[in-house]
Amino acid sequence: MEIYAVCTDSSLQKMKAFIKEMATPWITVNGPRSYVGPYSKLYDAPTTPTIYIIDNRKKIIAKKLPVGQLSDFFEKHEKFLKSNSEGTR
């Protein structure tokens, strides 16, 4: 699993300082400095934080989940994947 974080602050220096200070192990990009336009429109993320779960094919499989539901979602999704893989054998 990887985390892809979009910084909503326009200060690239603040973002870099935060990454260095916190030693974040995830991918962090600066949203306001995007070459592809506003990330909020591109990814339908009008509010922050917004959590998206993306599978290995880069398909969104869950969106806007509260943090408290992540563990339950992953457990159920793992069971779903396991039952589907057993059914295709």
Residues 26-52 pLDDT 10s: 888 777 666 666 777 777 777 777 888
Do residues 48 and 8 touch, judged by C-beta distance below 8 A? yes
Give residue 80's domain range: 4-87
Number of domains in the chain: 1
Mean pLDDT across the chain = 82
By the 8 A CB rule, do 53 and 30 touch?
A: no
Confidence at residue 26, expressed as pLDDT on a 0 to 100 scale = 85
CATH number at residue 59: 3.40.30.10
